[in-house]
Amino acid sequence: MSGRRKVTVVGAGNVGATCAQELARRDYADVVLVDIKENLPQGKALDMNQAAAVLGYEPGIVGSNGYGETAGSEVVVITAGLPRSPGMSRDDLVTTNERIVRSVTEAAMAESPDAILLVVSNPLDAMCHVARSASSWPKERVFGMAGILDTARFSAFIAWQTGTSVKDVTAMVLGGHGDQMVPVVSATTVGGVPLRRLVADEAIEAMVERTRKGGGEIVNLLGTSAWYAPAAAAAQMVDAIVLDEKRLLPCTAYLEGEYGIEGLYMGVPVKLGAAGIEEIVELDLSEAEQEAMRASAEAVRDVVSVLSGS
């Protein structure tokens, strides 16, 4: 590999491989793709390296079944674990994926003790607790990708509903990454115009509901979890960290009193930069939104309580 900075993606399935390619196309870091399955990460890495000739990126992509090549990574993206299948909720995955996320966290942190851990595996909020417990790293360096994905889904529906460019939609989805997530309608605008001035309440409610069920809708269509939007969202977070962009993005962060929530990973707006989560931003939520956040927190606590280490 070259002398470039390094990002590791654990899990060479749909989300991990797509994230690795997105990062390669950014052209700022070498990428190590790790998977337990023999030949899978090596084959996907070879394919991506050959795509470089067409797409015009330089970084090396290495596929590996071990963690030696990951040493010195700035960011470790954890996508390992079983994806959802039809009829399965994110929460159904908790015990299986707890074991997987714990073992890959321990292996990755041993090689890259100064890295930032970005968790993508479901059930996301619970898996962030697992990674933090396995690593004992500060909360600023262990967090999850969910809010950007949920916000992207909400933004797509808003753009279709209003007939406007998705580039002009500014939205924010907070809370747990499940059916109790909280799209903050009060902070949602299209070209600076509040959403409520453009769209009737029942249409907004329908979009909120579709956003909450957005992952399940795709599972029902494909028979497995989404990967293009989740991978793009994870790559955006890696950009913010490696390039120290100080982006204000919704991420799954460990709360210690913010939003009235104590000792729980929840989706909130944060400032994301080279140190990881550099600030948690507290929005002025409406009464209804505060109540929805509390309900979401309870739903997350229920899943976290299933963890063996909780």
Query: pLDDT tens across 93-130, in order?
Result: 898 899 999 999 999 999 999 999 999 999 999 999 99
Predicted model pTM = 0.95
Burial of residue 134, with CB atoms counted within 10 A of its CB: 0-12 exposed, 13-18 middle, 19 or more buried: buried
Strand partners, 117: 76, 142
Please give the Cα distance from 97 to 80 (Å, whole number). 8
Residue 177 bears catalytic tag: yes
CA distance 164 to 172: 17
**pLDDT 10s digits, 120-146:** 999 999 999 999 999 999 999 999 999
Copy the structure tokens of residue 203.
């249409």
Q: Which two tokens stand for residue 75?
A: 């960011």
Mind listing the domains of the chain with CATH numbers? 5-144 (3.40.50.720), 147-304 (3.90.110.10)
Q: Which of 231, 271, 232, 235 is nearest to 251 (CA)?
A: 271
| Active-site option among 26, 177, 212, 271 | 177
| Tens digits of residue pLDDT in 150-194 | 999 999 999 999 999 999 999 999 999 988 999 999 999 999 999
- Cβ pair 306, 99 in contact under 8 A: no
